[in-house]
Amino acid sequence: MKNALVIAFLAVLVVFSIAQGQMTPASSVPTQAAVHGFDYRCGDVAVSLRLHEGKQAELQIGTTVLGMQTAAAASGNLYTATERGQGDVALHTQDDGAILTRDGVETPCRLAKADAGTTVAEDQTAAQARVEIQKVSLTSTDWQLESVDGAPLSAGTSASLRFENGQVSGNGGCNRFGGSYSQNGPALTFGDIMATRMACDVPRMELELRVHDRLRQVDGYVIDESGALALKKGTATLMTLRPAAVVTPAKP
């Protein structure tokens, strides 16, 4: 009799376990709801970025879904992952666009939808301007000085910088100069600067002295969403520069 009861009890347990398994399959993992979602068009490829709580993110490229991790960036937000068999994958988002990098190849992306699916309308001129801004980098860009310590330049004065292969060159306001620099992520420092010794009028000479003094103090940089380069000391902005084609003229 006891054996029959034990067998009946075990049979009930088995039936209950099977029912539970049918209700909640062991292989089923609840999907974490996305907090924010962004859809991009990167060339001919549809790309979706989903941000979750806890700074987790997913990137869908076509039919491939990747877990992403945040990485340090001078501006915007950078998400990185390794796509098996495809090399490194990264998405650098800025303003209404992004740059998708796959195996070293960069593709500009246009924001198509955000969150609830609102289409972002852009005229072609504005969209192209954003793409050009995203292509701006510290090196290989002719930078024109816009302000020093937040103050715009005096009328009739100008200064410039260019970074290339560890060497910086430019005009401090009167004389051409050159020297070395070291850059590691957002960290930036300058080595010894050598300059020609031509004499100029007082405003340009004063500007040059300020430029060289600030270069010696720089310990970092940021390129913001507008494409402006800020040379910084800690959190303070010492000088602001822009690509030569979009410099704001000095006020009279």
> pLDDT tens for residues 20-46?
444 333 333 334 444 567 888 888 888
Checking if the pLDDT of 1 tops 60, the result is no
Phi, psi of 167 (to 5 degrees): -120, 140
Domain CATH code at residue 229: 2.40.128.270
In terms of residue numbers, what domain contains 104? Answer: 36-135
* pTM recorded for the entire structure: 0.48
Rounded-to-integer distance, Cα 196 and Cα 202, Å: 17
For 178-241, give the secondary structure using H, E and C.
EEEEEEECCEEEEEEEEECCCCCCHHHHHHHHHHHHHHHHCCEEEECCCCCEEEEECCEEEEEE
Number of C-alpha atoms within 13 angstroms, CB side, residue 167? 7
Indicate the residue among 86, 113, 135 that finishes a domain.
Answer: 135
Indicate the residue among 106, 135, 164 that finishes a domain.
Answer: 135
Q: How many domains does the chain have?
A: 2
Is 86 domain-assigned?
yes
Q: Where do we find the tokens 């292509």?
A: 135
- Report the SS3 class of residue 173: coil
Is 215 domain-assigned?
yes
Checking if the pLDDT of 128 tops 70, the result is no
Residue-level pLDDT at 248: 45
Rounded-to-integer distance, Cα 206 and Cα 186, Å: 29
Residues 131 and 165 in one domain: no
Domain CATH code at residue 76: 2.40.128
Confidence at 11, pLDDT banded by 50, 70, 90: low
Confidence at 83, pLDDT banded by 50, 70, 90: low
What confidence tens digit (pLDDT) does each residue in 180-221 have? 999 998 999 999 999 999 999 999 999 999 999 999 999 999
Checking if the pLDDT of 126 tops 80, the result is no
With beta carbons less than 8 A apart as the criterion, state whether 130 and 72 touch. Answer: no
Residue-level pLDDT at 35: 54
Rounded-to-integer distance, Cα 72 and Cα 186, Å: 9
Residues 111 and 45 in one domain: yes
